[in-house]
Amino acid sequence: MSESIFLVEDDVIIASGLKYALEQAGYSVTHAKDITTAKRDTGIYDLAILDVGLPDGSGFDLIDGLRSKGVSILFLTAVDDEGNIIRAFESGADDYVTKPFRLGELIARVKAALRRRGGQAENLTLGQVTVNPAEGKAYISGIVLDVTALEYRLLLTFINNKNQVLTREQILSQIWDSAGIFVEDNTLTVYIKRLRDKLGDAMQIETVRGIGYRAIGN
Ligand code: CA
């Protein structure tokens, strides 16, 4: 499964060049052009590349939300913008690259940030369920939960968006993007049921009538 990158950049030329280069390097890339679009996104990412200057705010506005989901962060800043560089590190960024940058250098920084991440990816929990993203495994009270790749992605989607209503479309887009598996809307119900059966009382996935699902708990 390829590592996934969330690119938030308003400059269309930079964004498309970067997306292409990262995809060539084997990453899956989702692009958002501004803060509003980025905040609406419910994807699961290993790394976010955030432009500091965006039309509706600053890349800094996205840090807290991404950090809480365990996403590594790399900032794109203007040359010699020392204030922003210091601020980026204080707010939890892993690295920064100044514009204009060479694609080769940026890819190298991305690789390094993802390598560092390997050992430090934090566990995610909800109810009695713990997910270890570095291992790609889920546990209930310390015992490995036997799930398929698709069920694992479903579980990760719910845990990353706990207490939030997810539409069926949002959930389906997650499964397609990450696992490369095509799931029809009506089979989603079946997958959710199987996952619920495996989870038992350890985690609660509520059906929100006419909309989708929500995983509840802390
Ligand atoms: Ca910009």
Confidence class for position 179, pLDDT limits 50, 70, 90:
very low
Q: What is the pTM of this model?
A: 0.58
Give the distance (Å) from ligand 1 centre to CA of residue 65: 20
In this prediction, residues 144-150 reach a mean pLDDT of 88
Greater confidence, 55 or 134? 55
Give the distance (Å) from ligand 1 centre to CA of residue 12: 9
Strand order in the sheet with 28-32: 28-32, 4-8, 47-51, 72-78, 95-99
Confidence class for position 78, pLDDT limits 50, 70, 90:
confident
Average of per-residue pLDDT values in the chain: 87
Give the distance (Å) from ligand 1 centre to CA of residue 132: 34
Reply yes or no on whether the pLDDT at 189 is more than 70.
yes
Query: Which pairs count as long-range contacts for 108-115, CB under 8 Å and 24+ apart, including other chains?
Result: 109/74, 110/5, 110/22, 110/25, 110/27, 110/47, 110/49, 110/74, 111/25, 113/47, 113/72, 113/74, 114/3, 114/46, 114/47, 114/72
Structure letter (DSSP) for residue 122 = P
Amino acid type, 40: R
- Per-residue pLDDT tens digits for 97-135: 888 888 988 999 998 888 877 655 578 899 999 998 777
Give the distance (Å) from ligand 1 centre to CA of residue 118: 29
Give the distance (Å) from ligand 1 centre to CA of residue 9: 6
Q: What's residue 181's pLDDT? A: 57
**Is 3 in contact with 46 (CB distance < 8 Å)?**
yes
Give the distance (Å) from ligand 1 centre to CA of residue 61: 14
Task: For residue 182, give both structure tokens.
Answer: 């095509």
Give the distance (Å) from ligand 1 centre to CA of residue 33: 9
Q: What's residue 31's pLDDT? A: 97
